[in-house]
């Protein structure tokens, strides 16, 4: 190997293939039967359980854990999938530490929750590995629905519609279905091609056609289908609006993450010796951690507000720190430095005064060969005629937009956090509402 | 420091912990290891008559049930009495007793229900220097099919007869080991006493099938696709054994009959409980088969520490101490009123008390929207179910009402007098009282 962590600039092959394999393996190794049984035994089977209340998809968590404890992971998986058809991916990517596991009574009492996420993965992996599909379609209704976007919201909606007997066509602009599950999740959370395997398994219910690489036109869809669901996510990226943003090796973190997910050979993926990630969300953490795992010598993740305001959870921040990412709070980028290619970033320290963020006047510079921007995504190319507020399509409780016959859910729509699990819930609920409306 | 030495029907041992007649005591090798580990006594694996020894199955002899982390809770076995020649066992017993004169060595015996068979074996055993004999009237499988073991133990007349033979043909103390596979444990104990037994030991194992192989439709453990019932032992049987020991200890007829307590004794506390209910010493098997002989050190240390903390200096002060407090239901004080109370600082809001009480009991626990659980005194009967299902030790307690307080459930004032069923107005048998 000719390159190393000390090679300056942006370069591929900083680590040996073995180290890369180890770095990008499963964040949590799958539970074996005995470990799962012991972990399941810790569940108290709470009455009206707080974990279920905290789950955006309302999975009956005590029930599925009890089913694991009695040696029936397949029954557990059906309990999960009946509420959340992407329970397999959610088990991997959900910030359980801020959802079910945060309110687990054993977390509250002992600081050691039942490992709900890992148990969910144990159960869902077992059922998917067994092959076949746990749900059957209802009789054909003769109704057709168009779904825009094959991400968690769109696929969840499509699956529920197909189950209810409708015929669904999913349109997606990318080459593969899965949305952020395929292009936007950190590699070590979805190893072994799970995203595509899950999509194939989900589609095996039948009644769903996916058309990749297509741009959908809402007017045409409304004409050709009985209903439309929009789940196209957030296609745009916020600009830094700082000088030097156009310098070479200053890119969007979402593109880096997508490239990484699609790379056949990580040793061919270039990464800077010194990387700066700007932002405080999950995308920033995923980009920063994976930069480190690819062999970057120094990775700084800078966020303009304080630690408590960061949208990445405490757990994710700790994960980043444990992988060697240097987290810097209250640092706003002032300008990107460099001549041709980026050489550094100048930051200003910030503080919050009377609820307003302001710069203290003090600045500092961080050396950088590569800068990833992760300061939020924006809705791009929303069809005309829809009411949009705060950069999101305005929807009602079950996803109805301002246009009759058009529903929306997931990151592109208002309501709920921008989480996989929330998108799945919104897609499912919109499907039920579409069904009720079509069968009226 | 408490004195743990034990004198059970004249048999002395440095502590009250004996190994029960079972696989751990089948050979000199094992027994020497047990004595080295610190066991006070050993009941040698049951001897049969001279001649060709019994044979055992060549497949699994044990079945078990476990907790989630494979903690062994109950063990079932279909092993028979010793399958080694009588002479070998006797030679080994003699050798061990010679080298460990301070330890108790008891011979367990099971021969056919014929006077001649017993008369033949007793002198051979006596010659080993054994401190006593234990009559195996308890083994519930295999040997029982041949008219021995539990087949004798289930017929009080046979127990009396064989015990009498033994008392007649040996000077050694006779302990009669009882089977729990019977409706009233006092009857065989009384029979043993009539026959002249020096003591009884109980319980032997309980008829059991631990599980069923649902793929092969056969009970487990399975031998070539078939299963036979075995004898159940281990922590799971302790409550049954404790009750049977207490039944004998508190019965007027058998109150003075010494008892060797057996059944799920796993640690010092179990031993102390058996002794408090009337056992003069305890015998252990499953615990050593699970963890090895070394556990006796924990038992010695724990019992000693506990006795010191209670100011108890000898085993005799423990034996039978809880017997007087073990009564019939009819003698329980119905004027004693308690109410559950939930410690809100300890409560973790799991809601198990609520589910248990609301679904299956007295609807005496209220749940608020923000998951605060409180006891409704006007409904609570103090049944203790909430305490038992609560995962947090000490979170729910049962607090007795003081005399003069009003029970909100009945509207009645708590009185100081004892009032039980024998004098209760609802009892049809005490109308005249």
Closest residue of chain A to B354, computed from CA coordinates: A47
Are A244 and A365 in the same domain? Answer: yes
Please state, rounded to an integer, the average pLDDT across all residues of chain B: 96
A290: in domain: yes
Are A338 and A308 in the same domain? Answer: yes
Digit-coded pLDDT (tens) for A221-237: 999 999 999 999 999 99
Cβ contact A95:A311 at 8 Å: no
DSSP letter string over A407-425? Answer: EE-GGGBSSS-S-HHHHHH
Supply A287's token pair.
């980009």
* Chain A contact for B67 (CB, 8 A cutoff): yes
* Contact between B69 and A47 using a beta-carbon 8 Å cutoff: no
Please state, rounded to an integer, the average pLDDT across all residues of chain A: 95
* Chain A contact for B371 (CB, 8 A cutoff): yes
DSSP H or E run through B231: strand B230-233
Supply B269's token pair.
């506390």
* Contact between A105 and B352 using a beta-carbon 8 Å cutoff: no
Cβ contact A303:A284 at 8 Å: yes
Residues in B closer than 8 angstroms to A36, CB to CB, are none
Is B233 marked active-site?
Answer: no
Closest residue of chain A to B369, computed from CA coordinates: A48
Are A125 and A212 in the same domain? Answer: no
* Contact between A109 and B351 using a beta-carbon 8 Å cutoff: no
Superfamily the domain B6-317 falls into: Aldolase class I (3.20.20.70)
Please tell me which of the candidates A38, A44, A47 has its beta carbon nearest to residue B391: A44
Instruction: Annotate A399-421 with b (16+ C-beta within 10 A) or e (fewer).
Output: bbbebebbbbbbbbbbebebbbb
Q: Tell me how far apart the alpha carbons of residues B276 and B176 are, in angstroms, rounded to a whole number.
A: 21
* Contact between A47 and B350 using a beta-carbon 8 Å cutoff: yes
* Chain A contact for B392 (CB, 8 A cutoff): yes
Among residues A360, A376, A392, the one where a domain terminates is: A376
Average pLDDT value for residue range A134-139 = 97
pLDDT tier at A366, thresholds 50, 70, 90: very high
Residues in A closer than 8 angstroms to B369, CB to CB, are none
Please tell me which of the candidates B69, B352, B371 has its beta carbon nearest to residue A38: B69
* Contact between A50 and B349 using a beta-carbon 8 Å cutoff: yes
- pLDDT of A384 reads 87
Q: Are strands B206-208 and B230-233 parallel, antiparallel or unpaired?
A: antiparallel
Residues in B closer than 8 angstroms to A47, CB to CB, are 350-352, 354-355, 367
Average pLDDT value for residue range B285-302 = 97
Chain A residues with CB under 8 Å of a chain B CB are: 34, 37-38, 40-41, 44-50, 69, 105-106, 108-109
Q: Tell me how far apart the alpha carbons of residues A141 and A436 are, in angstroms, rounded to a whole number.
A: 12
Helix (H/G/I), strand (E/B), else coil: A129: helix
Question: Which residue from B229, B261, B268, B257 is spatially nearest to B244, judged by alpha carbons?
Answer: B261
A17: in domain: no
- pLDDT of B345 reads 96
A297: in domain: yes
Sheet of B72-77: strand order equals B62-66, B72-77, B230-233, B206-208
Digit-coded pLDDT (tens) for A42-54: 999 999 999 999 9
* Chain A contact for B351 (CB, 8 A cutoff): yes
Digit-coded pLDDT (tens) for B303-361: 999 999 999 999 999 999 999 999 999 999 999 999 999 999 999 999 999 999 999 99
- Shortest Cα–Cα distance, B68 to chain A (Å): 5
Average pLDDT value for residue range B417-421 = 96
Please tell me which of the candidates B70, B355, B391 has its beta carbon nearest to residue A47: B355
A106: in domain: yes
pLDDT tier at B139, thresholds 50, 70, 90: confident
Are A365 and A280 in the same domain? Answer: yes
- pLDDT of B358 reads 98
For residue B43, list its beta bridge partners.
B106
How many Cα neighbours within 13 Å face the side chain of B237? 32
pLDDT at A377 over 50: yes
Are A53 and A113 in the same domain? Answer: yes
Cβ contact A181:A86 at 8 Å: yes
Are A105 and A188 in the same domain? Answer: no
A46: in domain: yes
Question: Which residue from B358, B356, B344, B360 is spatially nearest to B392, judged by alpha carbons?
Answer: B344
The fold for domain B333-417 equals Alpha-Beta Plaits (3.30.70)
pLDDT at B141 over 90: no
Digit-coded pLDDT (tens) for A182-222: 999 999 999 999 999 999 999 999 999 999 999 889 999 99
Are A162 and A226 in the same domain? Answer: yes
* Contact between B68 and A109 using a beta-carbon 8 Å cutoff: no
* Contact between B367 and A41 using a beta-carbon 8 Å cutoff: no
pLDDT at B432 over 70: no
Q: Tell me how far apart the alpha carbons of residues A87 and B55 are, in angstroms, rounded to a whole number.
A: 55
Closest residue of chain A to B359, computed from CA coordinates: A47
Give the domain extent around A434. 144-235+379-438
* Contact between B348 and A106 using a beta-carbon 8 Å cutoff: yes
Q: Tell me how far apart the alpha carbons of residues A186 and A282 are, in angstroms, rounded to a whole number.
A: 9
Average pLDDT value for residue range A230-257 = 95
> ipTM higher than 0.90?
no
The contacts of residue A288 (CB under 8 Å, 6+ apart) are A275, A277, A299, A301, A320, A325, A372
A139: in domain: no
* Contact between A44 and B350 using a beta-carbon 8 Å cutoff: yes
Supply A368's token pair.
């950088």
* Contact between A69 and B68 using a beta-carbon 8 Å cutoff: yes
pLDDT at B431 over 80: no
Are A421 and A297 in the same domain? Answer: no
DSSP H or E run through B152: helix B150-153
Query: Structural domain boundaries of chain B?
Result: 6-317, 333-417
pLDDT at B174 over 50: yes
Among residues A130, A160, A182, the one where a domain terminates is: A130
CATH code at position A96: 1.10.1060.10
Question: Which residue from B279, B299, B192 is spatially nearest to B238, judged by alpha carbons?
Answer: B279
- pLDDT of A210 reads 98
Are A259 and A349 in the same domain? Answer: yes
Q: Tell me how far apart the alpha carbons of residues B252 and B243 are, in angstroms, rounded to a whole number.
A: 16
Q: Which of B139, B233, B285, B353 is catalytic?
A: B139
End-to-end CA distance of chain B: 52
Domain total of chain A = 3
- pLDDT of B158 reads 96
A340: in domain: yes
Among residues A353, A376, A399, the one where a domain terminates is: A376
- pLDDT of B1 reads 82
pLDDT tier at B433, thresholds 50, 70, 90: very low
Are A241 and A372 in the same domain? Answer: yes
Closest residue of chain B to A35, computed from CA coordinates: B69
Query: In residues, how long is chain B?
Result: 433
Q: Which of A47, A54, A61 to mutate to test the interface with B (most CBs of B within 10 A)?
A: A47
Digit-coded pLDDT (tens) for B238-265: 999 999 999 999 999 999 999 999 999 9
A28: in domain: no
């Amino acid at each position: 190997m000719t390159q190393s962590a000390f090679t300056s600039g942006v370069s591929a092959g900083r680590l040996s293939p073995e180290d890369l394999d180890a770095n990008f393996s499963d964040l949590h190794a799958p539970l074996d039967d005995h470990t799962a049984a012991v972990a399941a035994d810790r569940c108290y089977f709470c009455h009206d359980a707080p974990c279920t209340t905290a789950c955006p998809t309302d999975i009956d968590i005590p029930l599925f854990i009890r089913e694991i404890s009695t040696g029936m992971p397949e029954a557990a998986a059906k309990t999960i999938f009946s509420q959340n058809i992407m329970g397999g991916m959610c088990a991997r990517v959900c910030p359980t530490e801020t959802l079910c596991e945060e309110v687990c009574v054993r977390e509250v009492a002992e600081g050691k929750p039942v490992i709900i996420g890992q148990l969910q993965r144990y159960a869902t992996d077992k059922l998917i590995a067994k092959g076949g599909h746990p749900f059957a379609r209802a009789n054909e209704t003769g109704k057709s629905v168009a779904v825009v976007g094959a991400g968690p919201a769109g696929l969840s909606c499509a699956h529920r519609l197909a189950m209810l007997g409708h015929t669904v066509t999913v349109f997606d602009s990318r080459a593969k279905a899965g949305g952020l599950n395929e292009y936007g999740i950190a590699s070590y959370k979805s190893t072994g091609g799970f995203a595509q395997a899950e999509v194939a398994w989900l589609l095996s219910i039948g009644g769903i056609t996916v058309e990749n690489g297509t741009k959908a036109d809402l007017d045409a869809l409304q004409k050709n289908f009985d209903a439309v669901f929009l789940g196209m996510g957030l296609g745009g990226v916020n600009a830094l609006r700082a000088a030097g943003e156009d310098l070479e090796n200053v890119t969007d973190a979402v593109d880096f993450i997508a490239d990484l997910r699609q790379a056949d050979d990580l040793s061919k993926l270039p990464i800077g010796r010194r990387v700066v990630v700007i932002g405080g969300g999950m995308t920033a953490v995923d980009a920063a951690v994976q930069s480190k795992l690819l062999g970057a010598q120094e990775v700084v993740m800078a966020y303009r507000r304080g630690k408590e305001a960061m949208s990445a959870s405490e757990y994710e921040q700790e994960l980043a720190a444990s992988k060697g990412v240097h987290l810097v709070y209250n640092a706003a980028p002032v300008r990107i430095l460099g001549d041709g290619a980026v050489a550094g970033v100048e930051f200003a320290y910030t503080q919050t005064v009377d609820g307003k963020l302001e710069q203290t006047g003090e600045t500092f510079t961080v050396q950088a060969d590569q800068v990833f921007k992760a300061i939020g995504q924006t809705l791009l190319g929303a069809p005309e005629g829809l009411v949009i507020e705060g950069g999101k399509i305005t929807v009602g409780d079950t996803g109805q937009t301002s246009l009759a016959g058009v529903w929306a859910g997931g990151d592109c729509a208002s309501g709920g956090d921008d989480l996989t699990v929330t998108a799945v819930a919104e897609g499912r609920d919109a499907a039920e509402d579409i069904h009720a409306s079509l069968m009226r | 420091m408490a004195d743990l030495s034990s004198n059970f029907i004249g048999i002395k041992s440095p502590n009250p912990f004996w190994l029960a007649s079972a696989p751990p005591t089948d050979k000199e090798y094992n027994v020497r290891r047990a004595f080295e580990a610190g066991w006070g006594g050993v009941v040698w694996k049951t001897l049969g008559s001279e001649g060709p020894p019994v044979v055992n199955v060549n497949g699994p002899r044990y079945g078990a049930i476990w907790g989630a982390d494979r903690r062994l809770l109950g063990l079932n076995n279909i092993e028979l009495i010793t399958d080694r020649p009588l002479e070998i066992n006797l030679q080994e017993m003699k050798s061990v007793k010679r080298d460990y004169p301070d330890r108790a060595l008891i011979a367990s015996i099971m021969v056919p229900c014929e006077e001649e068979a017993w008369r033949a074996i007793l002198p051979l055993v006596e010659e080993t220097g054994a401190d006593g004999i234990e009559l195996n009237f308890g083994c519930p499988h295999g040997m029982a099919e041949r008219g021995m073991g539990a087949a004798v133990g289930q017929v009080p007349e046979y127990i009396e007869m064989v015990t009498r033979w033994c008392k007649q043909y040996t000077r050694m103390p006779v302990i009669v080991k009882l089977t729990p596979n019977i409706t009233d444990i006092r009857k065989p104990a009384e029979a043993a006493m009539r026959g002249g037994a020096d003591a009884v030991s109980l319980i032997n194992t309980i008829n059991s099938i631990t599980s069923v192989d649902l793929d092969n439709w056969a009970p487990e453990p399975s031998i070539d696709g078939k299963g036979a019932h075995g004898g159940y032992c281990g922590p799971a049987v302790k409550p049954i054994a404790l009750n049977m020991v207490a039944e004998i200890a508190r019965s007027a007829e058998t109150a003075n009959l010494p008892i060797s307590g057996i059944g799920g004794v796993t640690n010092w506390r179990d031993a102390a409980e058996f002794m408090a209910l009337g056992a003069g010493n305890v015998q252990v098997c499953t615990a050593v088969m699970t963890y090895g002989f070394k556990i006796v050190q924990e038992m010695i240390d724990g019992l000693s520490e506990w006795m010191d903390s209670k100011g108890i200096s000898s085993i005799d002060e423990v034996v039978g101490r809880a017997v007087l407090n073990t009564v019939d239901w009819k003698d329980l004080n119905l004027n004693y009123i308690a109410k559950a109370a939930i410690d809100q600082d300890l409560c973790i809001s799991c809601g198990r008390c609520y589910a248990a009480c609301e679904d299956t009991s007295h609807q005496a626990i209220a749940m608020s929207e923000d998951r605060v659980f409180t006891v409704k005194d006007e409904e609570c009967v103090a049944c203790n179910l909430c305490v038992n299902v609560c995962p947090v030790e000490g979170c729910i307690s049962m607090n007795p009402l003081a005399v003069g307080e009003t029970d909100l459930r009945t509207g009645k004032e708590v009185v100081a007098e004892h009032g039980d069923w024998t004098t209760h107005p609802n009892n049809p048998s005490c109308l005249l009282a």
